[in-house]
Amino acid sequence: MYYDPIKKSLGEVFNRTPLLRRLFYHLLDLLLLRTWHVHRELRQWAQGRTDEALNVLDAGSGYGQYTYWLSGLSRRWTILAVDVKDEQVADSNRFFRQIGRTNAQFAVQDLVLYQQPNTFDLALSVDVMEHILEDVEVFRNIHASLKDGGMLLISTPSDQGGSDVHADGETSFIEEHVRDGYNIHEIQQKLRTAGFERIEARYSYGEPGQVSWRLSMKYPILLLGYSRWFFLLLPFYYLLTFPFCLILNWFDTNRRHESGTGLIVKAWK
């Protein structure tokens, strides 16, 4: 299934007013399990740093929800959010101007080519690397763009069923993916090749998370892919499934997993 047309349709609905876009961000924060894991790591990183003037790179910003969340943690941080989609970048810049978030800016950039040496204290890449074939080049660019001691945080599917691929011959649930998922040792080796020395990697989307993902994301996306009229039924669908997804997300975020369909990776320069 191609995910971009569905994302575009959702964007058209929630970009109509700043209030709707804020609501959209809050819904994504609650529903998307990867957001729970990413926010957990970002809170740890942010401890004791909110009064510092720091530079953050949101590498592959998408809708801009992580830039929105980070820009609210500290007005002293300067956030550059880059993406290859002109329309999303323009929409995000317009929204952030409307709400007065002057510490964040969006720009059109290709991560395979983009490099800003020794600039950023933190780089964030959430569900991006599975879309980019030249991943080592991107890791090298981010490594060069980080200051000494800077951290890269990655969320991406694993090879343990990421992209809903569980056996040879199966194809990714999201057809824009160029790889189904990373082996946990593979991504660490690629980061070392790019220059990172200290690396930590763990699984996300264990058993609770996989159930939550199907309920909160896969089934609604399949319905929307079949017909956009199902958008009218989504509030009733989530009214039934939302409480279960919250419980499952909490368990997944607060437990260590021997295996999982997602990876959370941290690497320091």
CA 188/CA 203 separation, integer angstroms: 13
Structure-token match 């894991």, residue found: 37
| Residue 176's pLDDT band (cuts 50, 70, 90) | low
Please give the DSSP secondary-structure letter assigned to residue 3.
-
Task: Give residue 6's pLDDT.
Answer: 53
Please give the DSSP secondary-structure letter assigned to residue 52.
S
Q: What is the pLDDT of residues 17-71, one digit of tens each?
A: 899 999 989 988 998 999 999 999 999 999 999 999 999 999 999 999 999 999 9
pLDDT at 165 over 80: no
**Token pair of 260, please?**
């999982």
CA dihedral 163, 166, 171, 173 (to 10 degrees): -30
CA 214/CA 135 separation, integer angstroms: 27
Task: Give residue 7's pLDDT.
Answer: 57
Residue bearing the bigger pLDDT, 263 or 17: 263
pLDDT at 119 over 60: yes
Q: Return the minimum-mean-pLDDT range out of 4-8, 127-131, 183-187, 257-261.
A: 4-8
Summary mean pLDDT of the chain: 89
> What average pLDDT does the segment 131-151 reach?
96
> Which amino acid would we find at residue 205?
Y
Percentage of the chain lying above the pLDDT 90 cut: 71
| Residue 227's pLDDT band (cuts 50, 70, 90) | confident
Q: Return the minimum-mean-pLDDT range out of 60-69, 156-165, 250-259.
A: 156-165
Instruction: For residue 262, list its beta bridge partners.
Output: 157, 204
Q: What is the pTM of this model?
A: 0.88
